[in-house]
Each structure stands twice: as C-alpha cells, then as structure tokens.
Structure 1
C-alpha cells in the first residue's frame, strides 16, 4: 500500500513539474529579430531613413534595417576591409564593378537600380555663375573628391570635357561626400558646386539649380546599381529587400526624391 501511495505521489509531482515547464515555455520571450545592414551612397540617406526603411519594416516587423551612408568609394573600401553588410547601393558602376570583380558581390543580384543627374548649384542668395561653361569663374567652387566620391568623378569628367578642370585646381574645395558639397553651397562658404539633382532637391530652400551637365559632357548616365553581398549575413532578407526596392511602390518614392528608374 505504501509503495502504491509513493508511486501515485511521484506521478502527481511529475505531472505538476511538466505543467510548470510547459507554462515557462509559453511565457518565454520571442526570438530577437534579424538585423539587415544596408550600405548606400550618401545621396540616398534621406529617401531611406524618411520613407523606404520605415515602409519595409512596417511590412516586415521581424527585420530591423541598419543603414550606413557615405561616399561610394569609402564604402567600397570599408567592405573590402571587412565591414559586414547585406545590401550595397553605389552612386556609380565603378565601385560595384570593383567589388564584383573581387568576389565581394553575389553577381546574380547586381543590376542597375536608379538614375540621377549632375547639376550646378549656387546659394539661394544668387551668383554670377550661370552654367557649367563658366564654373571656373567661381571664387570658391566645390565638388566631391574624385578619388572617392562618384559625384566628384562625374564632375571631373564633365569639367574636363568643357575645359574647366585645370582652371579650378588652385581654388576648388573637395568634399568627402556629395552632402558636404551641398552644405558648403547652402551655407555660402562655396559660391558654386556640382552635386546630384536629388541632393539639390533636399535643400531647394537654400540652393538654386542653375544648370544640368551639358549633353555630351558625360560619357554615360549617372547610374546607381544595387547588389547583395556574397557573404551577406542575412542573404535571404537582403534579396527580399533588394526586390522591394525595385517594385513600382518603391520607385514612386524614389521619384518623389528626384531619382529616375534606371533604363
């Protein structure tokens, strides 16, 4: 009889323990969501932080997107130095092609995403500079550093084609990214600058666009390619995010910020 009572008591304890264990399992905190790292040209920061990232995260609350924005050449160097990233968008094909050739990109995902335009801006207060052909007349001209900034590379190409490049060498200020050039002109420390049309649109209350790069001054359009890193920590989420950026919904948002869909 004692053995039977002990056995029943033991079974009761086991059932109670199992019940408590099940309750603990149900009350456990949910697993932390995935963090996707986007590495993109500085000229794209506003459209991502203000619109596209919040929209995507609303659709996919389990995914957090962390953005890193800077000159495309600097971002290329950071990726080559070991920066863990999932999606890369550069402001020129040069950086994307270099990373692809070195095996950093999943080549099957690399494709043209957007198109931008190179424009000449002056402070809202006004300037005597009216076009690319007299850019060298500016007292304090500014462009992105051609060594690392795609907008600066396009600027050098256009100015060289128009015989303006040599004349500005003693006075030109070189920005570490296109946003810095924009800010210099907006503040008045530079009286003329070359930036993307999308950047100028963000500060239309402080700068005036006086001209676009003349036809023939650039060999190719200003293309922004997109691609997923070959060793992306969140490869599947990265591919889904890249696909989202190519949808009609995303393209309408890009258009509102001055970008055009790449042809």
Structure 2
C-alpha cells in the first residue's frame, strides 16, 4: 500500500511539473508569445514604408511594440558598435552590415538581403537644363547635394558614379554633403542645391522635385538593403519574427508601392 502511495505521490509531482511547464510555454508573457518592445534601427530611406508597415505588423502581433530609429546607415552602425540598444538593423548597403558581422554583433543566421533600390538624379520641380549626370559639370550647376560618403551609402554610390563617369574632379567643389539621404532630398526641395543624388524611392515621395536621370546599374555597386537581428537584442524571438514579417509577401507589396525592389 505504501508503495502505491509513493508512486501516486511521484506521479502527482510529475503531472504538476508538466502542467507548470505547459503554462510557461503557452503563457502570453513568455518568449514564444513574442511580447514586449523591439527597436529597429533603419536607413532613413525606409521611413515611409516602415511606418506604413507598423500597424500591419501590430495586427499579427498585438503584444509587440515596434519603435524605429532612422538615420544614415553609417551613423546607425556606429551607434550599435558603441553599445546603443537595438534589436534589428536594416542598412542601405552591405558595408555597414558587414562591419557589424565582422565584430560579432549580429546573429548571422538572421541576416538576409531584403530590398534593392536605384540611384537617381533629382532637381527642383521647375528647374530645367539638366537631364543627365554628365550635365552636373556645367557651370550652370553650382551646388550638388549628395550624402556624406563615409557614412551615407547613397553618398558612397554617388561617389562611385562620379568616378566611373570620369567627372569626380569637375564636381568636387560643387558638392554639398548631407547627413543622410533625406537631408539631401530637403536641400533640393528647398532650392539650396541645384541638383541632388538620392534613391528612386526618395524621389518618389516628394512633389517638390523631379527625377531627371537614373544611374546605370554598372556605374555603382549594387544597392542592397540587408537586415539582421542584433546579438545584443533583449527580445530576439520577437525581433526574428519581425524580420520574417518584412520578408513576407504582405510587407513586400508595401515596399514595392514605395519603389523598392525585392532582393
């Protein structure tokens, strides 16, 4: 009889443990439920698309709050390297993501190429006389807005275009540097620059500028937007889920609406 009681007692303990484990697994507050907040550091050119995607993601994961930190990819990279909190990083070029990966700061298995873009030449809406990148050497063009090449991928791509077209020296003294691609856009919108080099997606959102030329694909490095979860993420499960969401067709339709290509 005692033996039966002991076995029954052990069985009850095991059942209780299983029940508690089950409750932990399915609890809304557990990691698997993907709750809490994730901070996404993303290239400035993604602002409108990601803002539109925010409520769509909220529909699928109502317990997850997504906060954005937009800026130049180089500045965001430095923030992350200096210990700034972030869960997901989306760069406008491979260079910045490669740097973080080489320092062991991302979860390698989460890295993927998310989007593509095109580099374009823009001028103020009523400006005339510029229809190609080579026209930037004309004396009529006094100021050309570009991203700061060391930290802004759009500026790096622009630098490559100038070099491949053989006009780097002719335009060097005309360059006005922006801290990110959206500042470059604003320089042209305000008329503080006669022309600017931005992404096709930036030109698309502004009614104050017009796109007059697209840089040939072979004149610069491929424009790729990689995404990855950071190793320092405090909510890696939710961050991984968010990256999956960005790669799905529903998010892809929104990105395409803003002019991005799928990688």
Same fold (TM over 0.5): yes
Question: 1:67 & 1:127 partners in 2: Cα distance?
Answer: 37
Preserved contact between residue 134 and residue 164 of structure 1 (Cα < 8 Å): no
Preserved contact between residue 127 and residue 191 of structure 1 (Cα < 8 Å): no
1:181 has 2:184 as partner: yes
In the TM superposition, residue 171 of structure 1 has moved relative to its aligned partner by 2.1
Q: Call closer, same or farther: CA 1:142–1:41 in 2, change over 3 Å.
A: same
Question: 1:86 & 1:254 partners in 2: Cα distance?
Answer: 21
Secondary structure of 1:221's aligned partner = coil
Q: TM-score, normalised by structure 1?
A: 0.85
Match of 2:45 among 38, 43, 46: 43
Tell me the residue number matched to 2:242: 241
Deviations 1:33-82 (A, max 9, x none): 51100000000011111x11111012211110110000000000000011
Question: 1:84 & 1:246 partners in 2: Cα distance?
Answer: 23
Preserved contact between residue 132 and residue 214 of structure 1 (Cα < 8 Å): no
1:176-215 maps to which residues of 2 (within 5 A)? 176-203=179-206, 205-215=207-217
In the TM superposition, residue 167 of structure 1 has moved relative to its aligned partner by 1.3
Q: Call closer, same or farther: CA 1:215–1:42 in 2, change over 3 Å.
A: closer
The alignment yields a C-alpha RMSD, in angstroms, of 1.2
Deviates more, 1:57-66 or 1:74-83: 57-66
Tell me the residue number matched to 1:145: 148
Q: TM-score, normalised by structure 2?
A: 0.85
In the TM superposition, residue 105 of structure 1 has moved relative to its aligned partner by 0.5
Deviations 1:207-257 (A, max 9, x none): 110110024211x32000010001211100000000000001110000000
Tell me the residue number matched to 1:74: 75
Question: 1:216 & 1:249 partners in 2: Cα distance?
Answer: 31
Question: 1:247 & 1:164 partners in 2: Cα distance?
Answer: 41
Deviations 1:123-165 (A, max 9, x none): 0012322101222322111100001000000000011110121
Question: 2:81 & 2:226 partners in 1: Cα distance?
Answer: 18
Question: 1:256 & 1:136 partners in 2: Cα distance?
Answer: 34
Preserved contact between residue 200 and residue 209 of structure 1 (Cα < 8 Å): yes
* Structure 2 stretches lacking a partner, 5+ long: 1-27, 30-34
Question: 2:197 & 2:128 partners in 1: Cα distance?
Answer: 14
Question: Which portions of structure 1, spanning 4 or more consecutive aligned residues, are displaced by more than 4 angstroms?
Answer: none
Report the number of matched residues.
229
Question: 2:217 & 2:261 partners in 1: Cα distance?
Answer: 18
